[in-house]
Structure 1
Amino acid sequence: MSKYHLLVIPIAIGILAGGFLAFYLEPESNTKKLTPSKLIEDGSPVLGDNNASITILEWGDYQCTFCYKFHQNTLNVINENFVKTGKVKLVFKDFPLNGPDSVLAAEASYCANDQEMYWEYHDELYKNWGGERTGWITRDSLDNFASNVGLDLEIFNTCLNEQKYQDKVNALYEFGREIGIDATPSFLVFNGEEIIKIRGNQPLEVFLKTIGEL
């Protein structure tokens, strides 16, 4: 158990529609009651069936080494066996730890979403990952990624120039900190009754066990 941290939190209030989830912050005296909708809102579009009973919420950074490794390996198995089969849905929220370039990449992903190509652009960013704080995220590289997935560059660049989603990305970061996210990747895996927190790029077996428990 020393290699990973799982925090299972029982349902706090079960009589309200959807159920309230109690997510215990550090210290435990500081608590935040969250619904599934509160956890999901303002993040990425849902990948998978909206009606899937289990949600994996990933907090990530496009420059993060272990986020990249998760997307190159573990996520593919989860996607094929659980997302595409309707058992699990995935949501991504930005937690840009690595500075302005990470914020800019996150903004670009939401500009891509304006053209209904969020996940295509998201995957293209990780496909072209170039390390942490190495300078691979630039306006030129973001334009190249946009071209690769077929975005309208004029609309895309107008969105970036206007910094349309900068406040959104910064707010996601602050919300993550508020509920105890302090590393990337971090995951909240939940149904209507429990949240299980997974910190870091853990082995596939950890995710399989977590999904099984829920």
Structure 2
Amino acid sequence: MARLYLLAVPIVVGLAAGVFLTSYQDREEQTLTASRLAEGGSPILGDAGAPITILEWGDYQCTFCFKFHQSTLEALEGHIEAGRARLVFKDFPLNGPDSVLAAEASHCAHDQGRYWEYHDELYENWGGERTGWITREALGGFASEVGLDTGQFDRCLDEKKYREKVLALYEFGREIGISGTPSFLIFNGEKIVKIVGNQPLQVFLKTLEEL
């Protein structure tokens, strides 16, 4: 299996301060396999055998995650539908307990085969950062909207079935250098490119072309 080697050398692309693109490759320490990076997050969106993986680290309250979902992601869907890339989402709940709860809810939806429908429903009903829009009542309403068995969904949340999973994803992200949302690791079997922030579409397209 090909291994991906991390070399944390930031290449600033001349955009907003603190928003940058980094290329990781060729280092003997801290190796990561592509499968380890992708495992444990969302179900794969797209062809599981696609040569390029777009791994997004996000928070359901994050403003720039919402903007990415509403604009850039739609423009990248052609690459996913054509089998050139696949998308995986991993939770990085920076905005407190409500973000953790929303992430748990998405995994409860996955139990019923509706992860991406619920994921999209959360962003379509986005209400800002730390404004209180993520409530149990609201999450239950979203579950109903995407056709979930709400009784099963509620039990999943009551049991905190996915609390440890969500927190473990957050800790794994921190371990590999994720510190803000959205952050992206875009990789094939040889190279990882890190993009921080909701960069212009051209940054993502150029990365996909060069991998």
TM over 0.5: yes
Alignment-derived partner of residue 20 in structure 2: 5
Question: Which one of the candidate residues 50, 63, 66 is aligned to 1:65?
Answer: 63
CA-atom RMSD in angstroms:
1.0
Which residues of structure 2 form unaligned runs of 5+? Answer: 1-12
Give 1:175's aligned residue: 172
Query: Which residue identity lines up with residue 156 of structure 1 in the other structure?
Result: F
1:22-101 aligned within 5 A = 31-79=29-77, 81-101=78-98
**Superimposed CA distance per residue, residues 75-132 of structure 1 (whole angstroms, 9 cap, x where no aligned partner):** 00101x2001110000000000000000000000000000000000000000000000
Deviation of 1:9 after TM superposition, in Å, equals: 2.0
Cα distance in 2, alignment partners of residues 133 and 111 from structure 1: 22
What does residue 25 of structure 1 align with? none
d(CA) in 1 for partners of 2:210, 2:81: 20
How do residues 95-134 of structure 1 correspond to structure 2 at under 5 angstroms? 95-134=92-131
Looking at structure 2, the residues matched to 143 and 6 of structure 1 have their Cα atoms a distance apart, in angstroms, of: 37
Structure 1: segments with no counterpart, 5+ residues: 13-21, 23-30
Q: In the alignment, which of 184, 187, 210 is matched to residue 187 of structure 1?
A: 184
Distance in structure 2 (CA, Å) of the matches to 1:55 and 1:143: 31
SS of corresponding position for 2:193: strand
In structure 2, what is the Cα distance between the partners aligned to 1:41 and 1:115? 19
SS in 2 for 1:73: helix
| CA–CA separation in structure 2 for the residues paired with 1:150 and 1:32 | 42
Give a deviation string over 1:133-186, Cα, whole Å, max 9, x none: 000000000000000000000100000000000000000000000000000000
Amino acid at match of 1:86: G
Calculate the TM-score normalised by the size of structure 1. 0.90
Amino acid of the residue matched to residue 70 of structure 2?
Answer: Q
Runs of 4+ residues over 3 Å off in structure 1: none
Q: How many equivalent pairs are there? A: 196
Any idea what the Cα deviations from partners look like across 1:26-71, whole Å, max 9, x if unmatched? xxxxx52100000001000000000100000000000000000000
What residue number does 1:155 align with? 152
Tell me the CA shift for residue 11 of structure 1.
4.6
Instruction: Tell me how far apart the structure 2 counterparts of residues 108 and 138 of structure 1 sit (CA, whole Å).
Output: 11
Identity of aligned residues (%): 66
Alignment equivalent of 2:194, drawn from 193, 197, 201:
197
Distance in 2, Cα, partners of 1:71 & 1:98: 18
